[in-house]
Structure 1
């Protein structure tokens, strides 16, 4: 089985070589092969994810079930994902709370009669944690809940010890939130739309209330972990930044006498300059005058990075952080951010601070995050200034200082940072006090229970208007009539 970790697998680019590697590994019996004919016909779909569907299958007319994991799109990228999954499973297969990898099954692709591969996994007969809680919660004692939390903690600790970051913890926001879900039996913010508005309110401090009779020590554990934002929330906020970036590009071309199609065609035929390579990557990333093509995005950013372009190095880091056109590798993303940061790229410095703040690809270090955001801010990076303001406002790596945070939000807003404009608008709407819950605030305002100073509705409207075109529709509803 040691051949499973052969170092050459990272460098195979041809899909035939990937297939040959899998076939060779099966032939040498390093991986168990399962014949499709040995499963009963009663195969049931039990789930679906980003890459494909998950089935439950009965093995050899017995009561022994296995899970079959299929893939929507079977290409070179998918083959890399299969190899990566095998590698990760090899690292953690010993742990009882992590679903085990059993082997591989092959079948025919109905579209082109080519061979397709399915992963055969251990079947968890109780389904997902969420299903388990919804079906059994009323009968669970606190000992049962603590046992679930204990299993979760040990599984995550095992992943972290092996340097693996779990990418798919359902649609929850953190380990802390998952612990809260175990205590409550329901998903967090169940009745709220999971949009950018909710994301921002959580960043501001919105929390679910502890369930009555929850042990005090348990509450302390999950509240300490509560602010670790995972992919769904981060993705929402990153989508906002992508829309902002696209909006700025479109506005720029609207002010020029050049059509986007004309410029894009010129860009395609002028790829000698590394800056133009990055720009073509951005167009492909944002879907400007072309369909979004993540694998091409990765190739273009890598080409620019290989030429020493700091924006290309930073963008390549983004690809590795979010799995854009390549396998997700957050540690590699941090290394690339550091490389570009050392070359003076302020955006990479800001991204590095973000990784330190949330423990993405590195250990969480809020003091280091503050220092890193400060470096980006000193270089005039609007995002760095905005994040530095957040550090002062919420005490991230530094003592809270609300007045200083407002000054920094103002500076970032003046430089065009839409999220800084949004926070500045909220501050002018509400005044000096740090009120977190928007709905509660408006109720208190109606009944005269708010005693804050320096509310400036005109400035609030001004900044809401500045940011509303590039933020989501939900934010527009906050503009005061």
Structure 2
């Protein structure tokens, strides 16, 4: 809900949802309203301290609102629309570093480190990239790809819940769903002889599906 003033008769009008124009209830004049595409994200308050990351995070928030309003029509049930678009809509968000507890390194590779940690009592995996104090194009492309894979049809791809920054190293990190079985390499090492070829082909199919 947004309050807007008519510049002709100074009447305050109430707008529900996202629309391109508004008609004054008093003088009936119509005025255009700036669209999401014209919003300058540099005017939005920073959360991460990095412009590119903040721009992406704000885009995901506006995208949720846009999807919500797009589903509204005169026959809609507002409660159902809310449940389908807001209450259950998963999105990548900024998560302050102070919310992370019990941080423990569990793996290290050429890209960086993997940690196991807790956030509000839930176990998560945290992926820290090398030299991510100034996020590279690769870092930004990966987080955008993870966002696109949030649809339910990508159920076999590990979900990224948010981004944070290590306050001691200033490195940015992905906060992801924790996989109890470890990574695919460890899983195959421990269970390769126990897995049927049908199961192996199913795993390969799901991995390929995630890359499409």
Which TM-score band (shorter chain)? 0.5 to 0.7
Distance 1:28 1:130, change over 3 A: closer
User: How much has 1:19 moved relative to structure 2?
Assistant: 1.7
Structure scoring higher RCO (CA < 8 A, sep ≥ 6) equals: 2
Contact 2:133 2:171 in 1 (8 A): no
Contact 2:159 2:177 in 1 (8 A): yes
Deviations 1:3-22 (A, max 9, x none): xxx9xxxxxxxxxxx92121
Contact 2:161 2:176 in 1 (8 A): yes
What does residue 108 of structure 2 align with? 48
Counterparts of 1:312-327 in structure 2, within 5 Å, are none
Q: Give the greater-gyration-radius structure (CA).
A: 1
1:135 and 2:182 matched? no
Contact 1:97 1:152 in 2 (8 A): no
Counterparts of 1:16-55 in structure 2, within 5 Å, are 19-26=50-57, 30=61, 31-40=92-101, 42-55=102-115
User: What 5-or-longer segments of structure 2 have no aligned partner?
Assistant: 1-36, 38-48, 62-91
131, 139, 163: which one pairs with 1:104? 163
User: How much has 1:88 moved relative to structure 2?
Assistant: 1.6
Deviations 1:169-206 (A, max 9, x none): xxxxxxxxxxxxxxxxxxxxxxxxxxxxxxxxxxxxxx
Counterparts of 1:197-208 in structure 2, within 5 Å, are none
Deviations 1:415-448 (A, max 9, x none): xxxxxxxxxxxxxxxxxxxxxxxxxxxxxxxxxx
SS of 2:136's equivalent in the other structure is: helix
User: How much has 1:29 moved relative to structure 2?
Assistant: 6.1
Looking at structure 1, the residues matched to 130 and 162 of structure 2 have their Cα atoms a distance apart, in angstroms, of 19
TM-score (norm. length: structure 2):
0.53
TM-score (norm. length: structure 1):
0.25
Looking at structure 2, the residues matched to 155 and 141 of structure 1 have their Cα atoms a distance apart, in angstroms, of 16
Looking at structure 2, the residues matched to 23 and 116 of structure 1 have their Cα atoms a distance apart, in angstroms, of 15
What does residue 152 of structure 1 align with? 204
Contact 1:97 1:151 in 2 (8 A): no
114, 128, 134: which one pairs with 1:70? 128
How much is the aligned-residue C-alpha RMSD, in angstroms? 2.7
Bigger fraction of residues in strand: 2
Distance 1:35 1:48, change over 3 A: same
User: What 5-or-longer segments of structure 1 have no aligned partner?
Assistant: 1-5, 7-17, 162-481
SS of 1:105's equivalent in the other structure is: strand
Deviations 1:26-66 (A, max 9, x none): 456633121222222x2221222222111111222x2x321
Length, aligned pairs only = 133
Contact 2:125 2:178 in 1 (8 A): yes
